Amino acid sequence: MFRIVKKERLTPLIYRMEVEAPRIAASARPGQFLIVRTEERGERVPLTISDYDPEKGTVTIVTQEIGASTADICSFGEGQSFADVVGPLGMPSDFVGMTAGQLEGQRYVFIAGGVGTAPVYPQVKWLHSKGVPVDVIIGAKSSGLLIYKEEMAGYCDNLYVCTDDGSEGFHGMVTGMLENLVTVQGKRYTQAVAIGPMIMMKFASLTARKLGLPIVVSLNTLMVDGTGMCGACRVTVGGRTRFACVEGPEFNGYEVDFDEAMRRQTMYRQEEKSAEPHVCRIDLRSSD
C-alpha cells in the first residue's frame, strides 16, 4: 500500500500529495510519470511525477479534478493509501542524459500552463543543481489558479507570471510573454520546454519556431494505460506514429501533429466524466 503522508489543496480543484514509494523515489528522473490506482480493480490514472525525495522515500503527485477517477484520487486524505503506485514510467527528459560539457552554455526557458506547472518543477530543480540558467513562464486564467510560484522561484533565475485576465503579472498568454522576452527584452535561450494544455503547447511551439528556438513538449495528457498496450496515446511526430507513454512523454514540439493529438484527447471525454465505476481488466503488479 502507498500511504499519503501529506496532502495540500493548491486551488479549488488541484491537490498535491506526497506519497510513500521508496523504490520509485530512488529511481525517478525529471520528465517521467507514474500510474495510480485507488483500489485493486480501479482505473489506471497516469500522473507526471512532480517531485521525488530518495531520502524520505516519497514521490509527489499533483492532480486536478477533471472526471470521476481524478476526483476519486483527490478524495483521499493524509494517512490513507492507494492500492497501487507504479513507476517510474516513460523516458526521462533529454537533458538528464547530457554530460557536463553538453550542459555548459545551455540556457533553458520553461513555459508552464495550469496544472502543467507541477511537472516543470523537478526539471527546473535538476537543471539548477547542475548550474544551468533557467527562466520559467507560468500561466493561468487568473491569479487564484496559479500554482508552484514560490517553489519555482527558489530554483529558477527569473520567474515570469502571466494571467489571462491580468489579475497578476503579465496580462496575456504565455506565448506573448515568451515573444516579449526574446524580441523586446533580448533574452537568448538555447532550448524551450512547454508543458500544459495541448492548445497552449501547440501555440508555444508555433511561437518558438517563429523565434528560431528549439522546443520540447510533454504529451502526458494523452496517456490512458501508460504501458503502450491500449494505443490511446498514439500521436504523429515527424510523420511517424509514436506512443507517448513508452517513447515519450516528451517530443520535439515542431514535429507533433497537435490537431490530431487534440482530437485523440476527446475520445474518452464522456468516460472521464462518468461516475460509473471503472473495472480495470489488466493485471497491474506494483513495482514498489
- For position 114, which CATH number holds? 3.40.50.80
Look at residue 207 in the predicted model and tell me its pLDDT.
97
Q: What percent of the chain has pLDDT over 90?
A: 69
Exposed/middle/buried for 19, CB within 10 Å: 0-12, 13-18, 19+?
buried
HSE (CB half, 13 Å, CA atoms) of 134? 26
Q: 77 and 143 share a domain?
A: no
Q: 117 and 192 share a domain?
A: yes
Residue-wise pLDDT tens digits, 153-177 = 999 999 999 999 999 999 999 999 9
Q: 133 and 81 share a domain?
A: no
Q: 191 and 116 share a domain?
A: yes
Q: Which of 32-41, 86-95, 198-207, 259-268 has the lowest mean pLDDT?
A: 259-268
Q: 112 and 193 share a domain?
A: yes
Look at residue 109 in the predicted model and tell me its pLDDT.
98
Residue-wise pLDDT tens digits, 128-150 = 999 999 999 999 999 999 999 99
Task: Output the average pLDDT for the chain.
Answer: 88
- Amino acid sitting at position 230: C
Number of domains the chain contains? 3
Highest mean pLDDT of the ranges 43-52, 108-117, 236-245: 108-117
Q: pLDDT: is 2 or 278 the higher one?
A: 2
Residue 279 lies in a domain: no
Residue 225 lies in a domain: yes
CA distance to 3, 94, 101, 102, 253, per residue, from 97 (Å):
31, 6, 12, 10, 19
Q: 208 and 225 share a domain?
A: no
| Alpha helices by DSSP H, the chain | 22-27, 68-74, 100-103, 117-129, 149-153, 174-179, 198-211, 244-247, 258-265, 269-273
Look at residue 258 in the predicted model and tell me its pLDDT.
87
Domain final residue, candidates 89, 115, 135: 89
Q: 81 and 173 share a domain?
A: no
Residue 95 lies in a domain: no
Quote the pTM value: 0.87
Residue 96 lies in a domain: no
Residue-wise pLDDT tens digits, 186-198 = 999 999 999 999 9
Look at residue 155 in the predicted model and tell me its pLDDT.
95
Q: 225 and 207 share a domain?
A: no
Query: Average pLDDT in the 118-122 region?
Result: 94
Look at residue 235 in the predicted model and tell me its pLDDT.
84
Look at residue 249 in the predicted model and tell me its pLDDT.
87
Residue 84 lies in a domain: yes
Q: 246 and 152 share a domain?
A: no
Look at residue 285 in the predicted model and tell me its pLDDT.
47
Residue 196 lies in a domain: yes
Look at residue 242 in the predicted model and tell me its pLDDT.
85
Q: 107 and 196 share a domain?
A: yes
Residue 112 lies in a domain: yes
Residue-wise pLDDT tens digits, 13-43 = 999 999 999 999 999 999 999 999 998 877 8
Domain final residue, candidates 89, 124, 150: 89
Q: 137 and 195 share a domain?
A: yes
Say yes or no to pLDDT of 127 above 70.
Answer: yes
Residue-wise pLDDT tens digits, 40-93 = 877 888 898 999 999 999 999 999 988 888 899 999 999 999 999 998 998 999
Closest listed residue to residue 93, CA positions, set 203, 251, 236: 251
Domain final residue, candidates 171, 199, 214: 214
Look at residue 60 in the predicted model and tell me its pLDDT.
96
Beta strands, E only, the chain: 2-11, 14-20, 33-37, 45-53, 58-64, 81-82, 84-89, 108-113, 134-140, 158-163, 170-171, 191-195, 215-218, 234-237, 240-243, 250-252
Exposed/middle/buried for 245, CB within 10 Å: 0-12, 13-18, 19+?
buried
Q: 136 and 190 share a domain?
A: yes
Boundaries of domain holding 225:
219-266
Confidence class of residue 270 from pLDDT cuts 50, 70 and 90?
low
Confidence class of residue 224 from pLDDT cuts 50, 70 and 90?
low
How far, in Å, CA of 80 to CA of 74, rounded? 11
How far, in Å, CA of 253 to CA of 237, rounded? 9
CATH for 17: 2.40.30.10
Look at residue 79 in the predicted model and tell me its pLDDT.
94
Residue 288 lies in a domain: no
